[in-house]
Homo-oligomer: A and B are copies of this chain.
């Protein structure tokens, strides 16, 4: 039972993953992957987090207009590749260990051979803004407009990261088992039924395969 969750920023995908993990009693990995990667590579967590947000292409793109200092840039590109490779290995290791839920990081592609139950979570901009503003930390003050800008920026990175691994269009429903629109609803409310759906999906796929 390998479940992957891809999501638009602010759509509640991480919360869904966390709650599904509680409900299904299987581990859940999100930032833990960053922690492991930074430990393995001996890099700062923040650095790894930033490196892994954008794809390798984005790192290469940085070289444009920086001809005067090629060495520093090469270094960044190299470390971005390293970070991505390390995360790839960690995700494969976690899946080998057994049932789990993995958030983001193109895990649905990295683990394609496991035929994971892959979820894409999305929402309209109004709902994403509300969700982001609700979870802002104390001292953080972004206007609705700034929040929308941040959402678009992070999703642009995710789209770019996806391109590192696949030619498919980020969020195209064809690549996912279930696409959940969280506009105007509470994540908590849908968790039991999504957990049931996942269990039924795994069981049914197995039955169908046996019929072949």
- Bound together, the chains give a CA A185 to CA B149 distance in angstroms of 39
Say whether A29 faces chain B, with CB atoms less than 8 Å apart. no
Name the residue of chain B whose CB is nearest to the CB of A203.
Answer: B189
- Bound together, the chains give a CA A178 to CA B193 distance in angstroms of 12
Known: A178-B180, A196-B196. A185 touches B201 (CB 8 A): yes
Say whether A171 faces chain B, with CB atoms less than 8 Å apart. yes
Stretch of A46-54, A79-87, A204-212 at the chain-chain interface: A204-212
Determine if B193 and A200 form an interchain contact, defined as CB atoms under 8 angstroms apart. yes
Number of this chain's copies in the assembly equals: 2
- Bound together, the chains give a CA A180 to CA B181 distance in angstroms of 11
CB distance from A53 to the nearest CB of B (A): 23
Residue-wise interface mask of A (55-91) relative to B, using a CB-CB cutoff of 8 A (1 in contact, 0 not): 0000000000000000000000000000000000000
Determine if A189 and B204 form an interchain contact, defined as CB atoms under 8 angstroms apart. yes
- Bound together, the chains give a CA A86 to CA B184 distance in angstroms of 32
Residue-wise interface mask of A (159-195) relative to B, using a CB-CB cutoff of 8 A (1 in contact, 0 not): 0000000000001011011111100111001101110
Determine the chain B residues whose CB is within 8 A of the CB of A204 once the complex forms.
Answer: 184-186, 189-190
Name the residue of chain B whose CB is nearest to the CB of A209.
Answer: B184
Determine if A173 and B178 form an interchain contact, defined as CB atoms under 8 angstroms apart. no
Contact check: which of B122, B177, B205, B207 meets A174 at CB < 8 Å? Answer: B122
- Bound together, the chains give a CA A174 to CA B122 distance in angstroms of 8
Determine the chain B residues whose CB is within 8 A of the CB of A189 once the complex forms.
Answer: 200-201, 203-204, 207
Supply 29 A–B pairs (Cβ within 8 Å), ascending by A. Answer: A120-B173, A122-B173, A122-B174, A173-B179, A173-B181, A174-B181, A176-B181, A177-B181, A178-B178, A178-B179, A178-B180, A178-B181, A179-B179, A179-B181, A184-B205, A184-B208, A184-B209, A185-B201, A185-B204, A185-B205, A189-B201, A189-B203, A189-B204, A189-B207, A192-B200, A193-B196, A193-B197, A194-B197, A196-B196
